[in-house]
Structure 1
Amino acid sequence: MSASQPPPVFIDLLLEDQALELRVYLKNLGAEIADEKSSKGIEDDLHKIIGVCDACFQDANEADIESVLNSIVSMLVLINPERAENLILAFSEKLSKASDAKLGPVTLRVLWLLFQSLEAASTMRYHVYYHLVQIAQATDQIKSVFKDVEHLKSQFAQCPPSNEQLQKLLRLLHQALLGSKQTELAAKVMVELLSTYTAENASQAREDAQACILAALSDPNTFLLHPLLQLKPVKFLEGELIHDLLNIFVAEKVTTYQEFYKQHKEYIVNKLGLDHQENLRKMRLLTFMQLAETKTEMSFEMIQKELDLAPDKIEAFVIDVLKTKMVRARMDQMARKVFISSTMHRTFGKDQWQQLRDVLCDWKANLGAVQTGMKSFVAVAN
């Protein structure tokens, strides 16, 4: 086979013959490999082929590169699973290290094919997926390999990774999602990571807990922060400044944050790397939500006082609130008032669950009354 012509995916050949074809092809591309079968068997053949398979990366044709790599995949999935483990690891590492803007899409497709070809109970699925995420992170393609936490769990339902492996994967996913600006998904992944710690080892999750809090505080679209306080690694931070700051965002008002900022400006800006103006924006939104829980209308003067806003900033702020869809309201500029229809609760604890239960009970009773009325109407009509 000449180096100018790519090999097909050799599914109709014996493994040994496939290996020989690949050896010849890669040698013609300049790879340091013999063009004869190994006397030690197919595993040794594959080991040597994988070691020099990056010789095909110089090819300008993406389809040719993918054909070579898929040939290797077709061989890996046919040999004894136990003897294939080290080969699969070597192949995955080779592709993850070689990926760039050009090769990223190819290596993603090839490793995804390998991942899907492995038995659902194979322990190697975890390792291949981890390298998939590495490639996706490097090429900003994380959406192609990660949907959500529940889907991730389903991928490993028959062979769950160890707790340490899962933590390592979730950290990588969190970094990749943050890098691609998917802050909401990143926050969910970090919460899942923290939930893997117990009371016994929560102290080991210090860095993860701090990263989780920072991600939640800095995300302009994350407003429900109360659940973080229930996580054991976050509880372990009680008494520290970052935990105090989280508590302010969970339950306090703008003025409390401003006092905290005056005392710990260096910590917030330089140590945590948070943007003070963005913090103020979020605290004002959260304070407004809290006020809206108990009020059906608010005057501009009240908003100005409670949120420490300049008079000419109030209308723009209310519009900003409505854009978040956390609060449903109507602004009357002439009356200088905001009329509240509904709001998302800033915290959702026992009282909020009781309130929801009461609403559902009333709804059930009303449906019962409607049903009774309809039966009476039908009876009279008949």
Structure 2
Amino acid sequence: MQGPAVFMDISLEDQAQELRKYFKSLGAEISEEKSPKGIEDDLHKIVGVCDICYKENNEADIEAILNSIVSIMVSIPLERGENLIVAFSQRLGKAPGPKLGFVALQSLWRLYNNLEQDSPLRYHVYYHVIELAARTGGVGEVFKNVEQLKKEFASCPPSNEQMQKLYRLLHQVLKDQNSELASKVMIELLGTYTDENASYAREDAIKCIVTALADPNSFLLDPLLSLKPVRFLEGELIHDLLTIFVSEKLSSYLQFYNNHKEFVQSQGLNHDQNIKKMRILSFMQMAESNPELTFDEITSELQIEDKDVEAFIIEVLKTRLVRARMNQAQRSVTVSSTMHRTFGRAQWQHLRDVLLLWRTNLQQAHESMSSVTAAQLEYTQQKP
């Protein structure tokens, strides 16, 4: 979707006058004459009526007109650049219907890519690009991930408040399209708050928790508890629910749901999906302490019927969170590895112990090889 601006073989002033005449012919309230104040004032007048070109039946003609405006906009120094850019972006953002919306998106994306990397105006354009992309289904073309977004604005970082506004928009756009990416965006948003203003992030923190819980591919929820805005929710039901998903078992969730059905439903969470996720999380927790699990233990702990155990294990393996092997004849599951639901001091200590054991084994192997090498050398030297 990226492309260069369109430049005509006439001066910018003459190009602006041609645009004035064109918009006048469509019925816009604009003079055909050039502004005595110069090209920037011409551009302001043109931007003020540019959306009248949506009357055209030919989308290619509309795109050509919008690109002509873009070519002037990126070719002159703008003293009042922010107002002009915002006005143009807003007018393109109101393009009616998906087809015209896509044309407007292409022109706005072209403007974004033709602005200097260190221009603070790029933020305003990008914000409206996301709005248009949400309407036309092209978000994936203009937003890949948070890391790439940061690189885009590395030369001229927007203010903290601007990034918060952009993250909220992205989360709103992505939550029904890509829940995993929406969760990452929201976590990034919460990371912009400090100890001083974390208490003002209540709504964002709740959205973050709900999005993570609803995401069928999100199982490592422990990091959310360390986010400052989430910590301000301690003692509230949403924080209690998060804690259950972080470290407790299915039975705890079922008890919570029985006591707070209306709350769970009010958050837009699906009870059946919650149960499915909690069963997987509970199985992971069982496997951490006992790599040999019987079908009877699984049916009892996870409250599923015996005939459904094999299908459940297959679902667990699909997540790639657990590596295991079923033995239908012995009605058991042998777990070779599992992701930890939480990674605290105990897990770090276990990792340290494992690494120390590996180091010891490597040292012993090295010493053994050194002994073999020395013995071989001595034997060789003793041979006549």
TM-score, normalised by the number of residues in structure 1: 0.91
RMSD over aligned Cα atoms: 2.1
Counterpart of 2:99 in 1: which secondary structure?
coil
Structure 1 residues 357, 106: CA separation in 2 closer, same or farther (over 3 Å shift)? farther
1:338 aligns to 2:333 (yes or no): yes
Cα deviation for residue 51 of structure 1 reads: 1.6
Cα deviation for residue 27 of structure 1 reads: 2.5
Corresponding position of 2:111: 114
Cα deviation for residue 366 of structure 1 reads: 5.1
User: Contact between 1:43 and 1:84, CA under 8 Å: does it hold in 2?
Assistant: no
Percent of aligned pairs with the same residue? 60
The one of 323, 327, 331 aligned to 1:328: 323
Supply the distance in 2 between the matched residues of 1:333 and 1:187 (Cα, whole angstroms). 38
The one of 242, 245, 249 aligned to 1:246: 242
Supply the distance in 2 between the matched residues of 1:91 and 1:368 (Cα, whole angstroms). 68
Gaps of 5+ in 1: 1-7
Supply the distance in 2 between the matched residues of 1:124 and 1:364 (Cα, whole angstroms). 54
User: Contact between 1:187 and 1:212, CA under 8 Å: does it hold in 2?
Assistant: yes
Supply the distance in 1 between the matched residues of 2:292 and 2:335 (Cα, whole angstroms). 5
1:47 aligns to 2:44 (yes or no): yes
Corresponding position of 1:159: 156
Corresponding position of 2:186: 190
TM-score, normalised by the number of residues in structure 2: 0.91
Counterpart of 1:166 in 2: which secondary structure?
helix
Corresponding position of 2:212: 216
1:307 aligns to 2:298 (yes or no): no
Structure 1 residues 99, 141: CA separation in 2 closer, same or farther (over 3 Å shift)? farther
Corresponding position of 2:67: 70
Deviations 1:54-105 (A, max 9, x none): 2222333332222111111111112223333221111111111215310232
User: Contact between 2:81 and 2:121, CA under 8 Å: does it hold in 1?
Assistant: no
Counterpart of 1:341 in 2: which secondary structure?
strand
User: Contact between 1:99 and 1:135, CA under 8 Å: does it hold in 2?
Assistant: no
Corresponding position of 1:60: 57
Gaps of 5+ in 2: none
Counterpart of 1:81 in 2: which secondary structure?
coil
Equivalent residues in 2 for 1:95-114 (5 A)? 95-98=92-95, 100-114=97-111
Structure 1 residues 29, 365: CA separation in 2 closer, same or farther (over 3 Å shift)? farther
Corresponding position of 1:147: 144
Name the amino acid aligned to 1:156. F
Deviations 1:269-308 (A, max 9, x none): 2x21211111111111100001111222110000011111
Corresponding position of 1:12: 9
Name the amino acid aligned to 1:328. R
Corresponding position of 2:87: 90
Counterpart of 1:101 in 2: which secondary structure?
helix
User: Contact between 2:40 and 2:78, CA under 8 Å: does it hold in 1?
Assistant: no
User: How many residue pairs are counted as aligned between the two chains?
Assistant: 373
